[in-house]
Amino acid sequence: MAALPGRLGPGLFRRSHRCLSGVARTAGCLRRRDSTLEQRRPVHAMNLPAIPRLKLNPHRHYVAELRRRLPAHIFEPVPQRALWMIAYGAAAVAGIATVAFAPIPAYVALPIAAFIGVAFSALELLGHEIVHGAVIRRPWLRDLLAGICFLPVAVSPMMWRLWHNLEHHGNTQIHEKDPDAYSTFDEYLRRPGLRLLHRIVPVRSILFFVLLSAWFTVHSLTSLRRTLADRYPRPIKARVVAETALGMAFWAALAWLMGWDRFAYAFVIPLLVNNFIVMSMIATNHLLNPLLEEDDPLAGSLSLRMPKLLNVIFSNFSHHTEHHVFPAMSARFLPHVRQMIKHVWPDRYHELPYLTALGLLWKTPRLYLDNVRVIDPATGQRYGVLGHGLDPQRVAPLE
């Protein structure tokens, strides 16, 4: 068997092998109670194939090659992009005012709430672009504008920079370093909460789409807890708390002013819509890819094909591999990067239609058995990932 690289290699594989082998004799064995999973014994008939070494290129490899080929002006910030805040903010405010004060029935308020949710998503993804410095480089103005854009989700711009810019972008798909990377099967066996989640939301369950509607909010609260428990200096933590509290206080005050029934249409339902839109893209951007040992944007990211109108509204967030190569580049120029990457590295670039990628998330499990395989804990079936056994046109378990 080929040696596995680094931390994700022998240790994780041996643990997962032991956990699986004791229940491999029956197809439904992993449906047993959690206590049964802990009382496993080795069976040597597992016959797992060797795991390939991942051929990775460091991030700087792509940056150097593309900078040589692309025009210099596309690496400059585009301040005019901030004007989209006016359009998205006005749409959100108009929708909120309508459901808060107009005497409209629920069947009219509901689509307006969905419209507000789309405006929230547009603001959040524009804020994502701003906080990377792709619109404004001046720190105080960058954080102010990003804070306004993140107000719908009450996320601190400082926390976003720590969680997303620093930790996620610096360690994309690296297990235990990337806060957005999904869990391993080994972690599933050790964490009761994770086991409960996968029991409630099994593979190909309609509840997966319900989960998307809460995922970002839960993940941001988890990131807040982790940030406050981490080694960051006290002034930074104080700022994170203050910015988060300010956003939450704003929405609490609005709830008090308009009443909880109207607040549901003004904020709660729009937040669920926002979560679904944003997480349906974030999850497809990475969770179909392998776990990595170093940051390789082409191996660890997936770009999406979406209608042009949606790309305009959502700040070309679908161009996610391109964004990971050049995080500080304006969304306006990411299509140019896409064309160049497809020209230089057509065999390494991953791109799928949005609905196809979302369907793959629904059809395949999320728990990583190792770098390049995911496992369904209910059946023991193993699937590949992009570039390593996952065929988007014919989804089937590995032999």
Residues 281-312 pLDDT 10s: 999 999 999 999 999 999 999 999 999 999 99
**Per-residue confidence band for 53, with pLDDT thresholds at 50, 70 and 90:** confident
Q: Is residue 242 part of a domain?
A: yes
Is the pLDDT at 352 greater than 90? The verdict is: yes
- Give residue-wise pLDDT tens across range 358-399: 999 999 999 999 999 999 999 999 999 999 999 999 999 998
27: pLDDT confidence band, cut at 50, 70 and 90?
very low
The pLDDT-based confidence of 104 (bands split at 50, 70, 90) is very high
Q: What is the pLDDT of residue 36?
A: 38
The whole-angstrom separation of Cα 323 and Cα 316 is: 9
| Within-domain flag for 365 | no
Mean pLDDT in residue range 177-195: 98
Is 275's pLDDT higher than 90? yes
What percent of the chain shows pLDDT beyond 70?
87
The tally of domains found in the chain comes to 1
Q: Specify if 325 maps to a domain.
A: yes
The pLDDT, as a whole number, for residue 18 is 43
pLDDT in tens, 236-268: 999 999 999 999 999 999 999 999 999 999 999
**389 forms bridges with which residues in the sheet?**
385
pLDDT score at 8: 45
Q: How confident is the model at residue 337 (pLDDT cuts 50, 70, 90)?
A: very high
Q: What is the 3-state secondary structure (H, E, C) of the chain?
A: CCCCCHHHCHHHHHHHHHHHHCCCCCCCHHHCCHHHHHCCCCCCCCCCCCCCCCCCCCHHHHHHHHHHHCCHHHHCCCHHHHHHHHHHHHHHHHHHHHHHHCCCCHHHHHHHHHHHHHHHHHHHHHHHHHHCCCCCCCHHHHHHHHHHHCHHHCCCHHHHHHHHHHHHHHCCCECCCCCCCCCEHHHHHHCHHHHHHHHHCCCCCCHHHHHHHHHHHHHHHHHHHHHHHCCCCHHHHHHHHHHHHHHHHHHHHHHHHHCHHHHHHHHHHHHHHHHHHHHHHHHHHHCCCCCECCCCHHHHCCEEECCHHHHHHCCCCCCHHHHHHCCCCCHHHHHHHHHHHHHHCCCCCCEEEHHHHHHHHHHCCCEECCCCEEECCCCCCEEEECCEECCCCCCCCCC
| Mean pLDDT to the nearest integer, 206-228 | 97
Higher-confidence residue of 155 and 9: namely 155
* pLDDT tens per residue, range 55-95: 999 999 999 999 999 999 999 999 999 999 999 999 999 99
Structure tokens at 114: 């969905």
Q: pLDDT tens-digit profile of 113-156?
A: 999 999 999 999 999 999 999 999 999 999 999 999 999 999 99
- What average pLDDT does this structure show over 211-220? 98
Residue 136, domain extent: 74-179+202-352
In a domain, 366, yes or no: no
pLDDT at 6: 38
Q: Is the pLDDT of residue 21 over 60?
A: no
Provide the pairing of β-strand 367-368 with 303-305: unpaired
Q: What is the mean pLDDT of the chain?
A: 90
Provide the pLDDT for residue 51: 65
* 343 is a domain residue: yes
